[in-house]
């Protein structure tokens, strides 16, 4: 049996922090509301492009796996906030890391893009199409955020992480996947101002308006993720007690608690970092995976349950059996350029640039 296992991991978090108190400078909100409704205390605002974050995360993941970039056969970049539609972001990373033998594609299922990318790459490895793949989940949402809307502006942040996936004959790696989508309610999470249909209609690119039916998304997210988790547990003949760690999409602490409860797993077997970064869409699960490893929460041969939901409304879950190694083989010296501005200054810049553009 040819399996696909994670052998390298690396994150790239932009350094500028935007706290709940910072947001209260320009929106009618407060730390108490944001923390109690979502669990989020702060998020990051990137001063660099998505491609740059992806490149640094990729270099760290490759060093961790001890794999040269030339040995990659495939790069999958999961994102909905690509720098450019053509050429795609994966090809930019391919060029910058020198992965000259790799195919490169973007996958967009919003917040589940990394999970969809992971399943795609793992299936290609199992089929023998590729041997070594790099799966990235990254998002640069801050320039696309409607910073005048307190209903969404408090929820999101920027970030990126990458994982190296390699073929193995050992009994480890991705064991089951479930992908789904509630297309019939796709309009409950919709961003006006991104994409072709807005051209020639007076929209300035990035001056967005978000349709975001929070409570409906909340309910669908819990049902979709729970269904996906049950499916992969059943497929593996496993029960809740067999799960060593849940690594869920980090959108809202209350959603995470509801999903974990339905899965029959206690919160001490769930990794949470939503308080540090908010919802980074496609980046949440890979960043959580990296931090769980850094914090020693993933033991050799652990059974990990990954799950997420996002625009579409897409949802997904994977059962992943970790290998023996939980520490990096090497470290990369790749790093971001210094950031001269605070998170608040960058967001105020976006507000000023967009002000009045829709009138």
Q: Which is nearer to ligand UT7, 37 or 262 (CB)?
A: 37
Contact present, 102 and 117 (Cβ < 8 Å): no
Stretch that binds ligand UT7, among 137-145, 198-206, 212-220, 332-340 (CB under 6 A): 212-220
Structure-block tokens of residue 22: 């910072």
Residue 87 interacting with ligand UT7 (CB under 6 A): no
C-alpha span between 96 and 58 (Å, rounded) = 10
Which of these is catalytic: 80, 111, 160, 181?
Answer: 111
Pairing of strands 132-139, 74-78: parallel
Distance in Å, CB of 130 to ligand UT7, minimum: 29
C-alpha span between 350 and 206 (Å, rounded) = 10
C-alpha span between 285 and 273 (Å, rounded) = 10
Distance in Å, CB of 44 to ligand UT7, minimum: 16
C-alpha span between 275 and 44 (Å, rounded) = 11
Q: Which is nearer to ligand UT7, 206 or 214 (CB)?
A: 214
Residue 252 interacting with ligand UT7 (CB under 6 A): yes
Residue 214 interacting with ligand UT7 (CB under 6 A): yes
* Residues with Cβ within 8 Å of residue 86, at least 6 apart in sequence: none
* Residues with Cβ within 8 Å of residue 197, at least 6 apart in sequence: none
Residue 224 interacting with ligand UT7 (CB under 6 A): no
Distance in Å, CB of 34 to ligand UT7, minimum: 6
Residue with tokens 């089951």: 176
Give the side-chain half-sphere CA count within 13 A for 137.
28
Structure-block tokens of residue 274: 């939503």
Q: Which is nearer to ligand UT7, 164 or 217 (CB)?
A: 217
Interface map 11-50 toward ligand UT7 (x if CB under 6 A): ------------------x---xx--xx------------
C-alpha span between 11 and 160 (Å, rounded) = 6
SS3 for 259? helix
For this structure, is 279 an active site residue? yes
C-alpha 235 chain-centroid distance: 24
Residue 282 interacting with ligand UT7 (CB under 6 A): no
Which of these is catalytic: 64, 249, 252, 270?
Answer: 249
For this structure, is 249 an active site residue? yes
Stretch that binds ligand UT7, among 121-129, 148-156, 177-185, 348-356 (CB under 6 A): 148-156
Which of 183, 109, 219, 173 minimizes the C-alpha distance to 324?
173
Residue 218 interacting with ligand UT7 (CB under 6 A): yes
Stretch that binds ligand UT7, among 52-60, 215-223, 316-324, 351-359 (CB under 6 A): 215-223
Residue 182 interacting with ligand UT7 (CB under 6 A): no
Distance in Å, CB of 339 to ligand UT7, minimum: 25
> Nearest 5°: CA angle at 264, between 258 and 270?
65
Residue 251 interacting with ligand UT7 (CB under 6 A): yes
Q: Which is nearer to ligand UT7, 74 or 225 (CB)?
A: 225
Q: Which is nearer to ligand UT7, 22 or 73 (CB)?
A: 22
- How many residues interact with ligand UT7 (rule CB under 6 A)? 17
| Alpha carbon distances (Å) from 78 to 27, 127, 137, 198, 299 | 31, 21, 5, 23, 26
Residues at the interface with ligand UT7 (CB under 6 A): 29, 33-34, 37-38, 111, 150-151, 154, 214-215, 217-218, 251-252, 279, 310
Q: Active-site positions?
A: 111, 249, 279
């Amino acid at each position: 049996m040819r399996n696909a296992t994670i052998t390298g991991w690396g994150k790239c978090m932009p350094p500028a922090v935007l706290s709940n108190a910072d947001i209260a400078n320009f929106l009618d909100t407060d730390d108490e509301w944001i923390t109690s409704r979502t669990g989020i205390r702060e998020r990051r605002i990137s001063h660099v492009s998505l491609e740059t974050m992806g490149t640094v995360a990729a270099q760290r993941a490759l060093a961790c796996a001890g794999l040269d970039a030339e040995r990659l056969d495939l790069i999958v970049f999961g994102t909905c906030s690509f720098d450019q539609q053509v050429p795609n972001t994966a090809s930019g990373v391919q060029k910058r890391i020198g992965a000259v033998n790799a195919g490169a594609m973007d996958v967009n299922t919003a917040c589940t893009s990394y999970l969809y990318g992971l399943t795609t790459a793992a299936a290609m490895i199992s089929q023998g199409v590729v041997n070594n793949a790099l799966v990235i989940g990254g998002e640069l949402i801050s320039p696309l955020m409607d910073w005048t809307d307190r209903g969404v502006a408090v929820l999101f942040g920027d970030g990126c992480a990458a994982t190296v996936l390699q073929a193995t004959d050992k009994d480890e790696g991705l064991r089951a996947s479930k992908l789904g989508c509630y297309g019939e309610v796709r309009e409950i999470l919709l961003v006006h101002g991104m994409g072709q249909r807005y051209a020639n209609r007076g929209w300035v690119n990035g001056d967005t308006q978000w349709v975001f039916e929070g409570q409906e998304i909340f309910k669908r997210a819990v049902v979709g993720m729970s269904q996906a988790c049950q499916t992969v547990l059943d497929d593996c003949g496993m029960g809740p007690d067999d799960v060593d760690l849940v690594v869920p999409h980090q959108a809202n602490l209350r959603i995470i608690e509801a999903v974990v409860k339905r899965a029959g797993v206690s919160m001490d077997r769930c990794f949470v970092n939503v308080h540090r970064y908010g919802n980074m869409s496609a980046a949440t699960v890979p960043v959580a995976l990296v931090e769980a490893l850094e914090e020693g929460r993933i033991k050799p041969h652990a059974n990990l349950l990954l799950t997420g939901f996002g625009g579409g409304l897409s949802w997904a879950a994977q059962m992943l059996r970790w290998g023996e190694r939980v520490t990096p083989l090497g470290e990369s010296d790749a790093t971001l350029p210094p950031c001269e501005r605070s998170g608040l200054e960058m967001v105020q810049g976006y507000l000023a640039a967009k002000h009045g553009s829709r009138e």
